[in-house]
Amino acid sequence: MSLKPLDILTKYYGYTNFRRGQEDIINSIINRNDVLAIMPTGGGKSICYQVPALLLDGITLVISPLISLMKDQVDALKTMGINATYINSSLSSSEFNEILENIKNNEYKIIYVAPERLDSYEFINLIKDKNVSQIAVDEAHCVSQWGHDFRISYTKIYSFIEKLLNRPVVTAFTATASQEVRKDIIASLRLLNPDIYITGFNRENLYINIVKSSSKNKYIIDYLENHKKENGIIYAATRKDVEKIYEGLYKRGYSVSKYHAGLSQEERKINQEDFINDKVNIIVATNAFGMGIDKPNIRWVIHYNMPQSIENYYQEIGRAGRDNQKSECILLFSPGDIHIQQYLIDISIDNNKRKLFQHEKLQQMKDLIYSNDCYRKSILSYFGETLLEECNNCSNCLTEGEIIDKTLDAQKVISCIYRMKKSYGVNIIVDVLIGSKNKKLLDFGFDELSTYGIMKEYSNENLKIFINTLVSHGYLELVKNIGYNGTYPTVKLNDLSMKVLKGEVEVKFKETIISKSLNTNDELYERLKSLRYEIASEEKIAPYMVFGDSVLKTMASIYATNKEDMLSISGVGEIKYEKYSNKFIKVIEQYILEKDIKKEEKINRDKNAKDEEFLFVKTDINLYKKLKELRDRYAKEEEVTSYRILGNNTLKEISGRYPRTTEQLNDISGIGPVKIEKYGQEILRLVEDHIIENNMNVNWNEKEKLKVVIDGESRKNNEIALDLLNQGKDINFVGEELETSISTILGYVYDYIKENQEIKFKLNLKAFYNDEEADLIINACNAFGEEKISIIKKNLPNYIRYESIRAVILEKYLEALENKKEICKLI
């Protein structure tokens, strides 16, 4: 074997080093050892079976439960020049037969297969005599009945392996697996003396924040106000909650979609792709969403409800920060979450043994929530990994708070439980302690106990939290009971309880106040934002059409109080200076006066102005023009549109940052290893020649975790498009400027109007369709609904373009609005 794993990694993937654990796993596989690899989400599992696939003779079969992941992985492999395909339920009969024919002719190196397809007679009959070198089982925890995503189809994998003429290397990969699940994977797949790799569960870039709050909706709105431009997932336990959260955010104008099992397969597919492709920022979902989602720039994950287990929780938060950038994971907890999850366990599991097992998992999750210790330490300990120091990246480590002696309150609770004589649930214990008039409580005579009403100062919810915290710290115990209505827990005393009651052990907890937001902006910036909002409301336009966030931040940073200051800020310009600047200057001058800011402070602030969130890049126009000429030449050679080679913003970033090495070029947005290999050397030569010709002294700044802002423009494409249209620019000009289709721009306008916004520009929509096309499009809209553009297109003749569909829908919607206004006038 002449090629080595690192050669494959560099040639096909463009990386020069393996991540932790990858090389050892790959070497095991190419030495034909079975492997079980537990790697964190974002740890690079796919490379561990794809690289051996290219080194071993024969075919690698990858068994995966996820249709969307298969397509993404196969598309990525094809772009690298690797022959790959997938077999799942999305294929038509003709597509399936064509793939079988290609397998027969040995055209594929890697084949992704849904586990359900392993039963296909045609597939088995064809593949059994082929040289299958490796079977890689992705999401291998699905094989275990103790796992959190158990799938019956996974239990049939071994019987499929038995049908093959020669047994291949069998490899299994998962992101989360407890000790029981690992044993199940090995036993069910019958791995032969496997090499087991646990590359570590610690995702240091994830900030873990557990918030005990009853006002979850307010928290989410407050949080999103500070994270408007970031991608995130909101997980909820039920479809009903998903719909409620989605509707609330959609009405407030957030870029949001939803995902749950109650939606059609087509809706789920479209919504998932919209999120992956950055068409929407936020997706609200049940835990049906996310397995295999390979989206690197998810900045936050919010759990609206407590998950059922630590495995579920850690896998779901693992979808954040796959690019290793800092990301936040927030769990919003209230005691009612426990009842929701208990109910879901009880109605979804028939087997009593498994039901009790899941309730134990739920209790472990509760213990984590009520713990005062480092959350990351507790999670890693659960997975059998030790963290010696505090992580200093979770809310328990970072939130300030003082240690409060709660021994007396603990004694009151324990004394009450002791006097109640039997084991009761938390709710009835709370009722006794706060002095409830509950009929059931009175019938038991608990109102006669000396502990009745002795903790009236607590709210019902806070007392539940306190009792559960006592349980999680071992001062009390929970007993699981099975009754006619399912499983229910009751509280009992233990040895530690009695030591607390006797005063032999003190109970001390840290009392904290959880911050409602990570981002805090300075006061002047907030004032400028308020002014912008007022102007936008008066003009009935979106705030970003006045000025973008980065413009306001720069104004606040340099105390811009004159025309020169204002026009030095990218994103202001003469037109907006004349229209808006006086109002903003007044606010800044008022702030300077109030705070008694001296001229020297203003100069120093201007000189040292720096934004910790953005990396500002200014286009070098001359170099940019040269790069465009180079791009156009490549586009002509490859017979594609120019932006398919490299986007304008990528060229502008190159021109303003002056990369001089391949490593530096790799730090530029929008240019990956494949494009660097194709175009990189010529780009670097062009940059170097430009620097020498102009006798320039340039310094390279790493992007690190900063967001690149080119020429002061931090807005999204839809915001820029609407602003340009608002300024009277032609739609074709806007399309060329943003390198996007007319259809997409019409979609921006449609979405903007649907948010109850008014437009002040005119569009000649009839230029995009004729009468015959309009009739066909309207009929399709009536049949399938106006929101389902891809389905409408599929059911129309091929000659009808997307922009024609968008234009007809938009025209129809605008006409309906006008009619509505006329009716309102008559009324």
Enumerate domains of the chain plus CATH numbers: 5-198 (3.40.50.300), 206-398 (3.40.50.300), 402-512 (1.10.10.10), 523-611 (1.10.150.80), 617-710 (1.10.150.80), 745-826 (no CATH)
Q: Are 74 and 14 in contact (CB under 8 A)?
A: no
Instruction: Give every CB contact of residue 577 below 8 A, 6+ residues apart in sequence.
Output: 563, 566, 567
pTM above 0.75, yes or no: no
DSSP 8-state class, residue 153: G
Mean pLDDT of 590-604: 69
Q: Are 127 and 85 in contact (CB under 8 A)?
A: no
* pLDDT the model gives residue 31: 92
Structure tokens at 714: 């931090």
Q: How far is CA 712 from the centre of its chain?
A: 26
> Does residue 200 carry a pLDDT above 80?
no
- What is the percent of the chain with per-residue pLDDT over 90, rounded to a whole number? 21
As a whole number, mean pLDDT of residues 52-65 equals 92
Which of 709, 715, 729, 752 has its CA nearest to residue 544?
715
pLDDT at 759: 76
Kind of pairing between the strands at 231-235 and 169-174: unpaired
Q: Average pLDDT of the chain?
A: 82
Question: Long-range contacts for 680-686 (Cβ within 8 Å, ≥24 apart)?
Answer: 682/630, 683/627, 683/630, 683/654, 683/659, 684/659, 684/660, 686/623, 686/626, 686/627, 686/630
Q: Which of 231, 327, 233 is nearest to 705 (CA)?
A: 327
Furthest C-alpha separation in the chain: 94
d(CA 747, CA 256): 15
First to last CA, the chain: 83
Q: What is the pLDDT of residue 610?
A: 42
Range of 130-144, 380-394, 703-717, 745-759 with top mean pLDDT: 130-144
Predicted local distance difference test score (pLDDT) of residue 171: 96
Main-chain dihedrals φ then ψ at residue 228, nearest 5 degrees: -60, -35
Question: How remote is the C-alpha of 70 from its chain's centroid?
Answer: 19
Nearest to 221 by CA among 203, 248, 200: 248
What pLDDT score was predicted for residue 646? 84
C-beta neighbour count of 546 within 10 angstroms: 22
By C-alpha distance, which of 310, 307, 356, 309 is closest to 333?
307
The total of other beta-carbon atoms located within 10 Å of residue 192's CB is: 11
Contact criterion met (CB below 8 Å) for 148 and 309:
yes
What's CA 338's distance to the chain center, in Å? 24
Residues whose CB falls within 8 Å of the CB of residue 403, separated by 6 or more in sequence, listed in order:
508, 509, 510
Are 767 and 671 in contact, with CB atoms under 8 Å apart? no
Element (H, E) at 84: strand 84-87
Beta-bridge mates of residue 112: 62, 86
What per-residue confidence (pLDDT) applies to 285?
93
User: For 51-69, b where at least 16 C-beta lie within 10 A, e where not — what string?
Assistant: bbbbbbeebbbbbbbbbbb
Say if residue 15's pLDDT is above 70: no
Please report how many Cα atoms fall inside a 13 Å half-sphere around the Cα of residue 743, on the Cβ side: 11
d(C-alpha 132, C-alpha 36), whole Å: 19
Q: How far apart are CA 654 and CA 667, in angstroms?
A: 10
Whether residue 66 contacts residue 91, with contact meaning beta carbons closer than 8 Å, is answered with no
Question: With the C-alpha atoms ordered 123, 127, 129, 135, is the resulting torsion angle positive or negative?
Answer: negative
User: Residue 648: what residue type?
Assistant: N
What lies within 8 Å, CB to CB, of 372 at 6+ separation is 396, 469, 473, 509, 510
Number of alpha carbons in the 13 Å side-chain half-sphere of residue 742? 18
CA distances for 539 relative to 261, 534, 542, 580, angstroms = 41, 9, 9, 12
The pLDDT score that the predictor gives to residue 60 is 95
Please report the DSSP string for 15-59 in residue order. -SSPPTTHHHHHHHHHTT--EEEE--TTS-HHHHHHHHHHHSSSE
pLDDT at 549: 67
Distance between CA 332 and CA 354 in Å, rounded?
A: 27
| Residue 401: pLDDT over 70 | no
Q: What is the pLDDT of residues 24-46, one digit of tens each?
A: 999 999 999 999 998 876 677 88
Question: Where does the pLDDT of residue 326 fall: very low under 50, low under 70, confident under 90, or very high at 90 and above?
Answer: confident
pLDDT bracket for residue 319 (50, 70, 90): confident
Calculate the CA dihedral of residues 709, 710, 714, 719 and round it to 10 degrees: -160
- % of the chain beyond a pLDDT of 70: 86
CA distance 87 to 813: 41
Alpha-carbon distances, residue 417 vs 96, 627, 826 (angstroms): 65, 76, 70
Q: What is the pLDDT of residues 403-438, one digit of tens each?
A: 678 899 999 999 999 999 888 888 899 999 999 988
In 286-381, beta strands by DSSP E: 298-303, 327-333
Whether 344 has a pLDDT exceeding 90, the answer reads no
Strands, E assignment, 484-637: 486-492, 508-512, 614-617
The first and second tokens of residue 403, run together, are 């240690």
pLDDT digits (tens, 9 = 90+) for 656-691: 899 998 888 888 887 877 788 888 999 999 999 988
Among 223, 208, 233, 206, which residue's Cα sits nearest to residue 323? 206
**DSSP letter, residue 706:** P
What is the tens place of the pLDDT at every residue in 162-197? Answer: 999 899 999 999 877 677 788 889 999 999 999 988
Range among 112-116, 118-122, 336-340 with highest mean pLDDT value: 112-116
Q: What is the pLDDT of residue 58?
A: 92
Are 199 and 43 in contact by the 8 Å Cβ rule? The answer is yes
> Which residues fall within 8 angstroms of residue 19, CB to CB, at 6 or more apart?
43, 44, 47
Residue 23 identity? E
At 501-527, the pLDDT tens digits run 988 888 887 654 433 333 334 688 888
Q: Record the tokens describing residue 436, joined without a space.
A: 């409830």
pLDDT score for 405:
82
What's the DSSP call for residue 666?
T
Residue 153 has pLDDT above 70, yes or no: yes
Q: How far apart are CA 39 and CA 200, in angstroms?
A: 7
Residue 208's pLDDT is 92
Mean pLDDT, rounded, for 621-649: 85
Q: Are 556 and 522 in contact (CB under 8 A)?
A: yes
pLDDT tens digit sequence for 215-263: 688 788 888 887 877 889 999 988 999 999 999 999 888 999 999 988 9
Handedness of CA 183, 189, 194, 196 (dihedral sign): negative
Per-residue pLDDT tens digits for 456-478: 888 887 888 788 778 767 788 87
Coil vs helix vs strand at 497: helix
Instruction: Please state the rounded mean pLDDT for residues 577-594.
Output: 88
Residue 756 has pLDDT above 60, yes or no: no
**What is the pLDDT, as a whole number, of residue 292?**
56
- Looking at residue 505, the DSSP 8-state letter turns out to be S
Question: Cα dihedral sign for 6, 12, 16, 22?
Answer: negative
| Amino acid identity for residue 810 in this structure | L
Q: Is the pLDDT of residue 776 over 80?
A: yes
